[in-house]
Every structure is written in C-alpha cells, then in structure tokens.
Chains A and B, each alone.
Chain A
Amino acid sequence: MGNKDKSQSVIKRKDLQALFDSLIKKGYSTYGPCVQDGAVVYDRIESVSELPIGWTDRQDNGNYRLTKTKEKRLFGFVVGPHTWKKYLYPSESKLWEAKRSGHEFEIVAEVNQPYKQAFIGVRPCELQALAIQDKAFLEGEFTDVSYLQRRQNVFIVAVNCVQPGGTCFCSSMKTGPKASGGFDLALTEVVEPNKHYFVVEAGSSAGVKILKEIPGKAAGEKEVLAAKKALRKASSKMGRRLDTDGLEKLLFKHIDHPHWNEISSRCLTCGNCTMVCPTCFCGNIEDVTDLTGQTAERRRKWDTCFSVDFSYIHGGSIRSGETARYRQWMMHKLAYWPEQFGTFGCVGCGRCITWCPVGIDITEEAGVFKREG
C-alpha cells in the first residue's frame, strides 16, 4: 500500500453506493457492518441500504444495546462482537487432508484460490489489530500460509470514528480515532443540517484508482475542516482511558499481586473476551478422521487461554487456577506482547469490556496496578 495520495475528496451520501458497485465490478466480495440479532455484526453486504443506517450502540461493562437515532448516519456506531479476523483467520478451517492406504498415508494440502475480499467500515483500532495479526502470522520465522492467502488481496475501506463508544479507549492505545495508515480508502462521515457527505483519503494506489470511479470532487477547506473538527472532538469523548506509560514493567513487577485473585474471583473464565478480541490469535489443532478411517483431516480452530486444556501437559495443566488464566490473558496483551511483537496486544476497541458477562474492565484492572506504582 504505497503511493499515498494526501489530497482528500468528498463523496456525497447518495454516491456511496458507487463504491460498493466499483468494488464488486472489480471482483471483490464486499463485507461490512449490518444489524443482526440486535447487534452490529460483519457480514457479506452489497449495498449502502444494508448498513446499520440510523443505528447507534450504547456500550458499557457487560452491556450492549442498539438504539435508533434521528440522524441517518451510515456509521453512527462503533464496533460490535465481530472482528475482521474472522475473514482472515476463520474460527474454524481445514489445513490439510490425509488419505490412508495400507500402513501408509499421504497428505494433501488445502489450497485456496486467491481471495478478493473488500472490508468496508474498518475502524482505526481494527486497522491496528490487522497489523498486529500480520506480525503474528506473517512476520515470524514461519508464515501462516492460509492467513496470507486471505490477507494479501484485501481492499480496506476504513471509517474514522467521530462518535467513540462507551468502552472505547483507542486514544490511550494511540490507534484512533483517526486512521493513520493500513487502508486503501479512509472515510470520515460528516452530517450537517441538509448535508451528509464523506471526506475521503486514499491510502494506496488501489484506493486512488477506485476513487476515480466514484462521483465526487476534491474536498474544499470547509469540508476538510468539518471532518477534522469532528475527529478532534471524538478524541475527548472516549468512554475509557488506559495509562500505558510504563505499564509493561509494572505488570511484571506485580505478577504476584493479590489483586489478580480479586479479578479472578469475578472472572468466569468463559473466554468471551478472547473470542471478541481482534488481536487474539491463539488456535487449537484438531486431527480427526471420517467414520471409515480412510480420510483424516487437520483442522484449526480459535482457542482461548481461559480453558484448562490450553496449557495441559501430561500430569496436569500449567495454568489450572482461574487467577493464572486471567493473568495470562491480560499480561499477554499488555506485558508479554510488547516483548514478542514490539507493540501492545490491545488496540483499545473495548470489546472485551462490553462482552464480558460480568463486566470486567481491562482499563480499570490495569489501572489498579498502575495506582500501586
């Protein structure tokens, strides 16, 4: 994604469908937010009308509600329980198949045709989450080929956040509310009396190309300023805050602190936080056979460090206690990740706070250690 075109354009609300149409014409499968079962989720969508028009989300510890607003915003909500990782690292996928003949077997790799997926409505925190998963899957000694096959052709339409959610803290993690890179196009939605438009920035040559096919004009000073103002206001409206200064060292220092027990006395170790987390990459490998035993498969599934099995070796689990399992998750995000990948494993999206059934708040708990000093 080279060739940055810093100049911005304006696309009117009524012309946004052209973006979907161009992408579809170019052979992309388009995915975006839509309302399902009372939540904004990501699914295959092909038109603006399928977006959660006029919906907004209220989020708090263990709490998520959608409500209608008078404004007919297309992106007037933040993030729901889904993450884009489900299209790059599916919750379950087949890696290979083995065929048995006599005492021997032969392995046949699962090869995927090149994917051409377009994600519409990727939030700045989610862009950083993609970058973090790229590090885990692509930048180590071994490349995760199935991730690479899905990742390499993705077209990303980011949407900057002008209305942060109740559990958002991207400002603290320095991942938002404005996208700084990792997108092909980035939109900022502006709604004014009798005016509804998007200020668009291209982040790649592919983005520039697509932009040319959509009716629009160069952004004027007024429009650029309106978008800027909305984003500046957003930074101060974050529902949560996390002071990350020296946090990594502090957590190591307090690794035996009794507060871990206090947190785990509330934690149900259900693993919800890991399922909704856009950076969690841990997976399990399952080897299975069909009923005849002639064909075996290797499958990969999302796994969670909250399960007892996760750390099982003969004789027992390494992290058998709830305290150790919660500590592993939070320490991984905020203390181990920086050593492993040079960045926090948390992007400040707030999903783990919202979708925790008992409302455990990572910013609050990390804050306790922070106050200990």
Chain B
Amino acid sequence: MATAQQNKKMVKGGPAYPMLVRPYAIRRISRETYDTFTYELTPPRGSGGVSFAPGQFNMLYVYGVGEVPISISGDPAKPQALVHTARIVGAVTKGIKRLKVGDSLGVRGPYGSSWPVEEAVGRDVVLVTGGIGLAPLRPVIYYLLINREKYGRIVLLYGARTPEDMLYTGELERWRGRFDLDVRVTVDRATGSWRGNVAVVTQLIKPAPFDPMHCIALVCGPEIMMRFTILDLEKRGVDYDRIYVSVERNMKCGIGLCGHCQLGPTFVCKDGPVYRYSDIRTIFTKREV
C-alpha cells in the first residue's frame, strides 16, 4: 500500500465527488416542540438553491460530529430556502441543536425517491402520518395546495403522542380552516386543555371521507404505525399498489454505496425512502429484514 499513500496530494476543489458536502448557513430556527426544531438554510454564497421533489432527503453534516439523513420539509416551489425539521435524538442531531443562526450546516442531496404527486392527479389523496412523520409529508401538502384543482378530496390524518408533540401547529390550524382540505388530528394521550380526539391515528381512517377505490394513500410515521395504518386502509378497500410508505433506515452515504440502508434487495437511499407498498410488502412484513 506504500505507493497509494505516497501518491496522495491534497488539491483544493478537486473532482465532483458525491461525498462532498456544501456548507449552508442557518437563516432561521423555529422550535416546533420540546425536542423538534425546524431549520431554514441558505445556500453558500454565489450558488442557488437545489430543487427537490416532495419526500426526498438531504444528508446534513455537523462539523466534526457526523452526518444524518433528514427529509426536506419545506415548499418544493421555493427551493432557495432549504427547510429541514429534525428531532433531537442522537449525536448528530444534538450537534445540530447546538448550532445558532449564522452557523454553517453541511448539506448533500437531495437524494431518494419522492411521493407520487403525478400519479395522484384526479384522485382523492389521504395522508396518514404520525409524530415527526408529518415533516416529510409537508412538501406534498404545499404541492397539493398549489395544484389544488388537480386533485379530489385531500384528507390529512395526523397523530401525535401528546398535544405538546404536535408539529407545525400554526399551519395545522390554518389548514384546518380551509374548505378544500380535511384535517383530522388526534393524540395518544391528552394533556392540559386538549379538547380534541384521543386515539391512535389509525382510528381516524375508518370515518375519514375519501373514496377507497379512487385514492392514493401516503403514509409516514413510525414503522409500527405504518403497519397498522396499512391494515386499516386495506379494510377500507385501498389496494396495496395505491399505498405509499416512507421508510427509515441507517444511512451513511445516501447514494447507494455504503450498504447500510438495505431493505431486502432494495437500498432505501435510492429505491426509497418512498416506496409503493406493493413493491416491498413481502419484505416489509418480515421482522428484522
């Protein structure tokens, strides 16, 4: 291995290497809940924003700490402002939490598959989401609302553990006030002055107003929640090939080279994170695959 080492030389810039990150500046931080924050990022000086499709993710790098895949939660029509919502659970997200407005956050992406907004044209759209799962679906909601006339009924079913765990509460209230959007919210445990539903999100599926024969269901949340959601959608008569799920796995590279995110014969980073459920059903229903 001697030669390989001797031949190495550091050169500035270098060839386009997909593992290189671009430092974005944090423009705004908003607190969603006690452990979840939304970051608005500005591209490096002299470069524009990168357009993305709803459901895609970026790898976010905290200087010297590490990198994590986080879904883009902003408006696809406004790519110049990159928006990510992150729950503070591990070393890297704790590193993100320490950053302040003006600090740099490394970005690579966008990567992965996206929600089927084209396939959904002319149909009812049911979004079933739990917890932080609302973040990867928010770009779809923006997209659907801008292109509202192309779609049938739009139903958003959102469940959180407690009222304090709910994301985007201001926006949820605004969306709930619209006549062209059916927003139903529930919590597992009520606290304080909560007067809404107390139930798991799957219980909202049965009474929800959509045509099961003529809809697309987009599901994002903890895996256990997605499994039960699929059962209830099936009970309503929604076919597996019209259900889409967003899957989370360990990712190190985000570009299909490191092998960590494999789900059966697929790579979540490039074949997912958004899958048509019928494509992965046999693997998704197995334990520890």
What is the interface of chain A, defined by CB distance below 8 A to chain B?
29, 44, 86-87, 90, 95-98, 100, 103-115, 117, 136-137, 140-146, 150, 252, 255-256, 281-289, 293, 296, 298, 300, 303, 305, 310-314, 318-321, 323-324, 327-328, 331-332, 335-336, 339-340
Contacts and interface: CB of A to CB of B under 8 A. Distances in A.
Contacts of A141: 255-256, 270
B202 to A, nearest CB: 20
A256 B286 contact: yes
Given A109-B15, A314-B89, A285 B7 contact: no
B14 A110 contact: yes
Interface stretch (B134-142, B146-154, B158-166, B257-265): B257-265
Nearest to A319: B288
Contact of A98 (B64, B262, B270, B282): B64
A327 B100 CA distance: 44
Given A106-B23, A321-B288, 12 more contacts: A87-B1, A97-B10, A104-B104, A112-B4, A142-B257, A287-B61, A287-B64, A296-B63, A311-B260, A313-B249, A327-B289, A340-B266
B67 A287 contact: yes
18 contacts: A87-B4, A98-B64, A103-B103, A103-B104, A108-B13, A112-B4, A113-B7, A114-B7, A117-B4, A144-B18, A146-B17, A252-B282, A255-B289, A285-B67, A287-B67, A300-B19, A310-B260, A313-B249
A124 to B, nearest CB: 24
Contacts of A103: 100, 102-104
A305 B18 contact: no
A92 B271 CA distance: 27
Nearest to B271: A340
B4 A335 contact: no
B226 to A, nearest CB: 14
Interface in B222-252: 248-250, 252
A328 B261 CA distance: 12
Nearest to B18: A142
A106 B104 CA distance: 10
A194 B260 CA distance: 54
The 10 tightest CB contacts between A and B, nearest first, are A109-B14, A282-B259, A324-B288, A289-B64, A339-B265, A336-B265, A296-B64, A111-B14, A142-B255, A29-B3
Contacts of B61: 287
A287 B64 CA distance: 6
Contacts of A136: 257
Given A283-B259, A284-B258, A312-B250, A318 B288 contact: yes
B18 A310 contact: no
Contacts of B63: 98, 100, 105, 289, 296
B253 A285 contact: yes
B90 interface: yes
Contacts of B260: 282, 284, 303, 310-311
Nearest to B16: A145
B65 interface: yes
A106 B14 CA distance: 13
A313 B70 CA distance: 12
A311 to B, nearest CB: 5
B174 interface: no
A283 B103 contact: no
A111 B15 contact: yes
B107 to A, nearest CB: 11
A340 B10 contact: no
B267 interface: yes
Q: Which of B89, B100, B256 has the most C-beta atoms of chain A within 10 angstroms of its own C-beta?
A: B256
Contact of B249 (A282, A318, A327): A318
A280 to B, nearest CB: 8
Nearest to A285: B252
A96 B20 contact: yes
Nearest to A323: B288
A141 B20 CA distance: 16
B195 interface: no
B250 A313 contact: yes
Interface string B83-104: 0000001100000000010111
A294 to B, nearest CB: 10
Interface in B87-144: 89-90, 100, 102-104, 106
A157 B287 CA distance: 45
A90 B17 contact: no
Contacts of B266: 340
Contacts of A328: 262, 289
A331 B264 CA distance: 8
Contacts of A335: 265
B265 A340 contact: yes
A293 B257 CA distance: 28
Contacts of A256: 286
B145 interface: no
B120 to A, nearest CB: 25
